[in-house]
């Protein structure tokens, strides 16, 4: 007996409902940032950036049938803790790739664990030159090294300000700040700028009056500082309190809005080379800033780099034919070329280091602006 049309329709709907939905693969990506400790100001921005990227990628349909799950861990600004969370994410969580950790010192400790387990890593804030990517072929870097940013930043500032002499202050017990100093010193020497004096400090120090007094008495045209943000704010403030009125130029550690908060009015006029041109009118950058602000975060370079890091992972998965295994993602990295990001069009160099434009920022009116 033939069923009535209504019964056929009901049967068809029931059959469709019984069919399983299209399978969705979840690919886990570990994100290891300094959410506590001396570099927590950077880690907070990185967390916000990578979370925005994950939400946008999953909503965009860029990876059909794939959902990216970011597994966030705190490295505590500690090499030992960085190693521990890397081990957990690699061996227990079984992530397909890692983003982080925040500082070069931690990367030098933790990245070898990923290399040994053939797990790709994207460094998004490690700037030590001639390091990090040399750990092995599973280590890739989005962040420009100090050697890529500082020389051009110093030359731009020198042409703008006309300085002929300089003094240097740096943290000598951290790979990040030591690397920044090395490049600053080399760049000044190559530019023919006379270095009048050099002073050092430890990352736990908060009183820099002795070092700053010694350098101020040398009457340098410019003071260059390589420090993490917690020290950077205090150094700028104490330098102004001691009566130093000349220009201050910071390394990558100054690239945080927390520096401005800590230094207050003393931050005005401070210069810093940057891997992110906040003023860029590129639609990707404009949209990134708007989306971050809509979530309550005024983004800095570290947020832009972390956001870009996950974009790079997603593009690598796409380049690998929608495959999310560890070796698939590693192979996909090699094919990333001219990827639109807030940092500009991004590609990897043969060294697995990032390649995109750099700029120089100056603090004006309590905000970072691009030095024109």
CB atoms within 10 A of CB 294: 9
> Token digits for 266?
């003393």
- Whether residue 254 has pLDDT greater than 80: yes
Same CATH fold assignment for domains 25-144+280-357 and 147-274: yes
Q: Tell me what pLDDT residue 23 has.
A: 54
Of the chain, the percentage scoring pLDDT greater than 90 comes to: 87
**Quick one: fold of 147-274?**
Rossmann fold (3.40.50)
Confidence of residue 191 (pLDDT cuts 50, 70, 90): very high
Give phi and psi for 339, each to the nearest 5.
Answer: -75, 125
pLDDT digits (tens, 9 = 90+) for 285-337: 999 999 999 999 999 999 999 999 999 999 999 999 999 999 999 999 999 99
Q: Tell me what pLDDT residue 357 has.
A: 83
User: Residue 252 in 3-state DSSP?
Assistant: helix
**How many Å apart are CA 175 and CA 126, to the nearest integer?**
10
For the chain, how many helices (H) and strands (E)?
A: 12, 15
- Cβ 142 vs Cβ 308: under 8 Å: yes
Query: How many residues make up the chain in this entry?
Result: 372
- Whether residue 225 has pLDDT greater than 90: yes
- Whether residue 59 has pLDDT greater than 90: yes
Of the chain, the percentage scoring pLDDT greater than 70 comes to: 94
Confidence of residue 20 (pLDDT cuts 50, 70, 90): very low
Q: Taking residues 344-366, what's their average pLDDT?
A: 93
- Cβ 254 vs Cβ 159: under 8 Å: no
Q: Tell me what pLDDT residue 371 has.
A: 87
Domain residue ranges in the chain: 25-144+280-357, 147-274
pTM: 0.85
CATH superfamily, domain 25-144+280-357, is: Response regulator (3.40.50.2300)
Tell me the CB-side half-sphere exposure of residue 295, using CA atoms within 13 A: 18
Give phi and psi for 115, each to the nearest 5.
Answer: -60, -45
Angle between helices 146-161 and 175-190 (to 10 degrees): 50
- Whether residue 13 has pLDDT greater than 60: no
Q: Tell me what pLDDT residue 122 has.
A: 98
Q: Tell me what pLDDT residue 24 has.
A: 84
pLDDT digits (tens, 9 = 90+) for 80-104: 999 999 999 999 999 999 999 999 9
pLDDT digits (tens, 9 = 90+) for 98-112: 999 999 999 999 999
DSSP state of 135: G
């Amino acid at each position: 007996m033939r069923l009535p049309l209504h019964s056929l329709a009901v049967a068809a709907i029931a059959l469709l409902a019984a069919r399983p939905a299209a399978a969705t693969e979840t690919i886990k990506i570990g994100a290891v940032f300094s959410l506590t400790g001396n570099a927590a100001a950077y880690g907070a921005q990185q967390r916000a950036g990578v979370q925005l990227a994950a939400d946008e990628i999953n909503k965009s349909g860029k990876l059909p049938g794939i959902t990216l799950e970011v597994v966030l861990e705190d490295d505590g600004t500690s090499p030992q803790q960085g190693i521990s969370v890397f081990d957990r994410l690699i061996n227990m969580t079984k992530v397909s790739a890692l983003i982080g950790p925040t500082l070069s010192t931690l990367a030098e400790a933790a990245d070898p664990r990923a290399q040994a387990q053939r797990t790709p890593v994207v460094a998004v804030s490690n700037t030590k030159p001639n390091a990090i990517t040399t750990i092995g072929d599973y280590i890739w870097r989005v962040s420009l090294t100090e050697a890529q940013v500082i020389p051009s930043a110093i030359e731009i500032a020198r042409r703008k300000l006309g300085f002929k002499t300089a003094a240097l202050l740096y943290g000598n017990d951290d790979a990040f700040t030591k690397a920044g100093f090395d490049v600053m010193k080399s760049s000044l020497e190559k530019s023919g700028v006379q270095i009048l004096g050099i002073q050092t400090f430890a990352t736990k120090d908060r009183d820099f009056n002795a070092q700053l007094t010694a350098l101020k008495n040398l009457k340098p045209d410019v003071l260059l500082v390589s420090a993490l943000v917690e020290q950077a704010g205090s150094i700028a403030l104490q330098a102004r309190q001691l009566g130093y009125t000349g220009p201050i130029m910071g390394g990558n550690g100054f690239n945080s809005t927390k520096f401005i908060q800590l230094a207050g009015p003393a931050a005005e006029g401070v210069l810093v080379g940057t891997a992110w041109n906040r003023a860029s009118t590129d639609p990707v950058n404009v949209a990134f800033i708007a989306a971050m602000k809509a979530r309550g975060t005024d983004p800095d370079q570290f947020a832009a780099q972390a956001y870009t890091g996950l974009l790079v992972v997603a593009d690598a998965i796409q380049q690998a034919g929608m495959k999310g295994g560890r070796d698939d993602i590693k192979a996909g990295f090699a094919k990333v070329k001219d990827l639109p990001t807030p940092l500009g069009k991004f590609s990897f160099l043969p060294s697995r280091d990032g390649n995109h434009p750099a700029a120089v920022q100056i603090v004006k009116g309590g905000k970072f602006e691009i030095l024109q």
